[in-house]
Structure 1
Amino acid sequence: MATRHLYVARHGAADAFGVLKDAGRRQAALLGERLAGLPIDNIWHSLLPRAAASAHELARHLPGVPVAEAPELIDHVPYVPSAAEMPRSWAGFFDGYDEAEATSGSRLAEALVARFAQVPEAARPDTYEVLITHAYPIAWLVRDALQAPPVRWLSLDSANTGLTMIEYRTGLAPTLVMFNDISHLPADLRWTGVRADARP
């Protein structure tokens, strides 16, 4: 039975212009140290600078592992729910999203799942991949793994470099091993990227 091990993380903390902060570099380095003992095959990252910089910082702890862009990991809204699917308090979040943007986001979400959330062929060896992306694509991958209704991506959030692990095995449903784990971070680097009133 072949297994695809997906290690998915949000980029490190960035400034308002999307440039990785010193704290974000430290977060990415600590995530790299955490993953250093694994047989990682590839590190993929979004095209946005904060994700690319995080991936390269992480890669310093995984020498020889290829690092490459994956357009499917770009930050996007994967699904715009209908008014009947969501509480009224969420409605304002989608103000300004027109049908073309919603369709584009949906296509990106489909491409993300098609590329990264697939079971390997039974004859292939196990694979280990790191994805450095953004909160929304992570939420969509988790929702997909749990086979939850599309609107449920809205209830999932990730801290900067929070680690999510999903396993895809031949003949089985996906396994969500962990979600948004930040145990590799010291207290002063935890919960960045999550609104202050939600931090424990």
Structure 2
Amino acid sequence: MATRHLYLARHGAADAFGNLTDAGHRQAALLGRRLAGVPVDAVWHSPLPRAVASATELARSLPDVPVAEAAELVDHVPYIPDTTEMPREWAGFFDGYDDAEAASGQRLAEALVDRFAKAADTDTYEVLVTHAFQIAWLVRHALGAPPYRWLGLHSANTALTIIEYATGLPPTLVMFNDMSHLPPDLRWTGFPDSGRRLVDRP
């Protein structure tokens, strides 16, 4: 039975222009060291600069592993729920999205699942450096949750999520948003403050 192991990581911390900060480079380097013991076959990354730089940085710890762009990993809103599918407080998040943008996002989300969310012919280990929404979408898909449930699944910068796809079996969510490779001062960046108030206390 072949298993496809996906190691999903959000890019490192970035500035307002989408470029990695010094902290983001450190985060990506530490993630690379953590993955150095994994028999990685390929590193795929979003086309956006913060993901490209993160993949390049972590790949320093993975010599001879190919690093390539995957357009399906680009940052996008994968699904816009209607008003019956979400709390009223979330509705404002989608202000300004028109039908064309919603359709484009849904096509990208479907392409992401079609390319990566399935078993392979042989055991494979792939690292996907992408964005918070794409990780949330793949986790939602693995759990068989309704489309709107990508909302509320947050990933910190360079946090690690692992999903396994084995032939003939449902997907397995092995780990979600794990930051054990990061020191406390580099954890929880890019994550809502409300979700970390009682975490990593001294």
TM-score (normalised: structure 1): 0.97
- Quick one: which of 127, 138, 153 aligns to 1:141? 138
Secondary structure class of the residue paired with 1:139: helix
For 1:11 and 1:187, locate their aligned partners in 2 and report how far apart those are by CA, in whole Å: 18
For each residue in 1:97-150, what CA deviation from the matched residue of structure 2 results, as whole angstroms up to 9, or x when unmatched? Answer: 000000000000000000000112xxx320000000000000000000000000
Amino acid in structure 2 at the alignment position of 1:100: A
Which whole-Å CA distance do the structure 2 matches of 1:117 and 1:126 have between them?
A: 14
Instruction: Give the AA of the match of 1:179.
Output: F
The letter for the 2-side match of 1:89 is E
Structure 2: segments with no counterpart, 5+ residues: none
In structure 2, how many angstroms separate the alpha carbons of the residues matched to 1:145 and 1:90?
23
The aligned length equals 197
**Corresponding residue number in structure 1 for 2:191:** 194
CA drift of 1:155 comes to 1.5
Aligned residue type for 2:170: A
TM-score by length of 2: 0.96
Is 1:117 aligned with 2:117? yes
1:144 corresponds to which letter in structure 2?
A: H
Q: How many Å separate the matches in 1 of 2:136 and 2:38?
A: 24
Percent identical residues: 75
Q: Structure 1: which 5+ residue stretches go unaligned?
A: none
- 3-state SS, counterpart of residue 4 of structure 1: strand
Question: 2:89: which partner in 1?
Answer: 89
Alignment-derived partner of residue 168 in structure 1: 165
Q: Following the alignment from structure 1 to structure 2, what is the Cα–Cα distance between the partners of residues 106 and 197?
A: 28
Which aligned pairs between 1:1-200 and structure 2 lie closer than 5 A?
Answer: 1-120=1-120, 124-199=121-196, 200=199
